[in-house]
Amino acid sequence: MLSNIGIPGLVIVLVIALIIFGPSKLPEIGRAFGRTLSEFKGATKELVSDSDKEEEKESKSEVTAVKKEG
């Protein structure tokens, strides 16, 4: 969907946002959007690292179980 928006479409969206929110609110909205993206990115990295740790624990417990059986 967003791949179809070109430079002219982006300019139109920015002009509409400028008209709706005004020049004083746009920097605040941009900062809030940036913070939201960075928090989302951090949470995603945390989830990925947690799942990696769980996989390592599972593989270690399987290796331990195999050693005890063997």
pLDDT in tens, 19-48: 998 888 888 988 999 999 999 999 889 888
Write the CA distances from 30 to 21, 38, 46, integer angstroms: 12, 12, 24
Average pLDDT of the residues in 1-17: 82
Average pLDDT of the residues in 44-54: 81
C-alpha atoms less than 13 angstroms from C-alpha of 10 in its C-beta half-sphere: 6
